[in-house]
Amino acid sequence: MFKKVLRRVAIGLAVIIVVLAGVQLYLLRGTPGKAITPTNSSVKYSATPTLLIPGWGGNTWTYTKLIDYYQDQNIATNAMVVRVAPTGAVQVSGSLKGKQNPLIQVIYDWNYSTTYQPQVRELTQVLQVLATKYHVQKLNVIAHSYGGTELLHAYIGSKTLQREIALQKVVFLGVPVDESFGTNTKYTKWLFKKSHDQIFKTMLKEVKEAQLPRGLVFYNWMGSDEGKSTTDGEVPQIQSLMLKTLIKHKHVHYHQHIFTDTTHMELHQRVKIIKKIAHVIWGKE
């Protein structure tokens, strides 16, 4: 009897493991690309790729709605999916060749760590592969949550990447830059002196020597959850506003916006925001 119970338990655990593995593979599959015709009169087309970086625990689902909308509206196409493992191994599917407004979807094999530092190393590897193997010299970026934090650390901390890839337009969606402060803290230009985020302090030193491209534009967009005017429910706005301190001595164009009644997740799911992203990256003047 006891052996039968153990056997049933073992079979049950095996089934659960198989199901979970299947779900994980599904979430890491990447959003299917769809060819577009460059006929949208409100869109400016070019060969400059746009990198899509998910946040903590983000996966294929993060940007599927955004990608599908852009492809249906002939705005941009998901030309490439880049998967990166914790070892730094990068696997690329798709091609940028001949594509107009190509999207590059980043998928982390595992991004459930207690810190974003492993993903900083992995994203650095992705950017190096794009520069050396795929000759990406200019790049737009859409980054949600820790995805944007990772981009800042990877790019500002690497003189090689600064030489090889010129960032153009970067849209940050609920991105924490300095995690020292909570929802009750008001932004001031001297607030960094009270920071106890050692990683942010390191980046403050690195940015002094960083060669950021002239003409670089940062769009710092935040949410304001219903009844919570200073947070999107997960990231306090003050943590995102510290981006202003980080780049204050750099020739970077900075724009910020707070979307009311918008949660952290809705920053990459609301059609209103998806349309606004398209306008700032590909819209005609």
What is the mean pLDDT of the segment spanning 210-229? 93
What is the mean pLDDT of the segment spanning 164-186? 97
**Confidence bin at 6 (pLDDT 50/70/90):** low
Higher pLDDT, 228 or 199: 199
**Confidence bin at 71 (pLDDT 50/70/90):** very high
- Confidence (pLDDT) at 18: 39
- Confidence (pLDDT) at 23: 42
**Confidence bin at 5 (pLDDT 50/70/90):** low
Sign of CA dihedral 158, 282, 109, 262: positive
Burial track 96-122 (b if 16+ CB lie within 10 A, e otherwise)? beebbbbbbbbbbeebeeeebebbbeb
What is the mean pLDDT of the segment spanning 122-129? 98
The tokens of 4 are what? Answer: 């039968």
- Confidence (pLDDT) at 226: 81
Residue 43 near residue 74 (C-beta atoms within 8 A): yes
Percent of the chain with pLDDT over 90: 87
The tokens of 9 are what? Answer: 């338990």
Residue 63 near residue 55 (C-beta atoms within 8 A): no
| Interatomic CA distance for residues 51 and 68, integer angstroms | 15
- Confidence (pLDDT) at 252: 97
- Confidence (pLDDT) at 2: 58
- Confidence (pLDDT) at 24: 47
For residue range 254-280, list pLDDT tens digits in order.
999 999 999 999 999 999 999 999 999
Of 29, 81, 19, which is closest to residue 60 (Cα–Cα)? 29
Q: What's the whole-number average pLDDT of the chain?
A: 92
Percent of the chain with pLDDT over 70: 90
For residue range 95-115, list pLDDT tens digits in order.
999 999 999 999 999 999 989
What is the mean pLDDT of the segment spanning 170-193? 96
| Interatomic CA distance for residues 154 and 162, integer angstroms | 10
- Is residue 185's pLDDT more than 90? yes
What is the mean pLDDT of the segment spanning 225-252? 94
Sign of CA dihedral 275, 34, 28, 45: negative
**Confidence bin at 180 (pLDDT 50/70/90):** very high
Quote the distance between the C-alpha of residue 251 and its chain's center.
22
**Confidence bin at 16 (pLDDT 50/70/90):** very low
